Amino acid sequence: MSFANSHQIVTNQPGVHEKLADIVEKHLKHAFQKPYQQHSIDGFKQVELEVQRSGKPIIFDSCCGVGDSTINLAKMYPNHLVIGMDKSGHRLNKNEAYEQHGIDNFMLLRTDLNDFWRLALDAQMLPEKHFILYPNPWPKAKHVQRRWHGAAVFPSLVALGGELEMRSNWRLYLEEFSAALAITNHSSEVAQFVPQPCITPFERKYQASGQPLFKLNASLSVNT
């Protein structure tokens, strides 16, 4: 007898989405021109000031949720400034984290990445490393354009460059992302892994329920 694990992916998609290539090609041909929201511009300016002040190379922690991974990455990479971004409100602030962990090489920003990534690219604020940990999977086939590789902002995400690491409990999400990257002439590797230790709340939750976890790695500054 088998039991479905909680949070396990349920999808009606048997393999890479049949329209993936068409969607990616369309986004590569037509620049994403949705106007920026004013609060995205204001938030971006705060980040620019912090990047200039710190003088450190930067790491993006996109879709950081409550910011636990941002703190963990800041500890792992003390010589970088880690910028955690999420469209939902964050609960940690820098002072609390500084008091708890003795680190201040990070910042958290509430922003929509559909704007932020384009603003960063326009300003050539490029990350050395880019983490996207457990993005929303949108497992129904009809929602493929809500996945990052099906989104209009995908070409900007790729153009930001850096060492990309994306993690998911849904292997197909990463395989699709990898197929989309191949269309932009970037190779990537997808592998099952065991996080040691877990660095995000979703990662902890998935691991506790015994689900296999996967990661994708790509050097986006190198074309193949």
Ligand X SMILES: C[S@@+](CC[C@H](N)C(=O)[O-])C[C@H]1O[C@@H](n2cnc3c(N)ncnc32)[C@H](O)[C@@H]1O
- Alpha-carbon torsion 107, 113, 116, 121, what sign? positive
| CA atoms of 190 and 77, how far apart (whole Å) | 23
By CB under 6 A, tell whether 65 contacts ligand X. Answer: yes
Least distance between ligand X and beta carbon 84 (Å): 9
By CB under 6 A, tell whether 47 contacts ligand X. Answer: no
Which residues from 69-88 bind ligand X, rule CB under 6 A? 69, 85-88
**By CB under 6 A, how many residues form the interface with ligand X?**
19
The pair of three-digit structure tokens given for residue 153, joined into one six-digit string: 């902002």
Which residues from 130-189 bind ligand X, rule CB under 6 A? 133-136
Least distance between ligand X and beta carbon 190 (Å): 18
Strand order in the sheet with 81-86: 106-110, 81-86, 58-62, 129-133, 163-168, 213-219, 189-193
- Give the count of alpha carbons within 13 A of 98, CB side only: 8
By CB under 6 A, tell whether 8 contacts ligand X. Answer: no
Which residues from 85-124 bind ligand X, rule CB under 6 A? 85-88, 112-114
By CB under 6 A, tell whether 195 contacts ligand X. Answer: no
Least distance between ligand X and beta carbon 9 (Å): 12
User: Is residue 216 a contact partner of residue 132, using CB atoms and an 8 Å limit?
Assistant: no
Decide whether 65 or 127 has the Cβ nearer to ligand X: 65
Provide the terminal-to-terminal Cα distance of the chain, rounded to the nearest Å: 46
Say which amino acid occupies 101: H
Decide whether 123 or 222 has the Cβ nearer to ligand X: 123
Decide whether 65 or 162 has the Cβ nearer to ligand X: 65
By CB under 6 A, tell whether 40 contacts ligand X. Answer: no
Query: Which among 2-10, 43-51, 59-67, 70-78 is the span making contact with ligand X, rule CB under 6 A?
Result: 59-67
Q: Please, which contacts does 193-199 make with residues 24 or more away whose CB atoms are closer than 8 Å?
A: 195/167, 199/68, 199/69, 199/72, 199/73, 199/133
| Residues β-bridged to residue 192 | 214
By CB under 6 A, tell whether 60 contacts ligand X. Answer: no
Decide whether 34 or 142 has the Cβ nearer to ligand X: 34
Chain residues in the site for ligand X (CB under 6 A): 63-65, 69, 85-88, 112-114, 133-136, 200-203
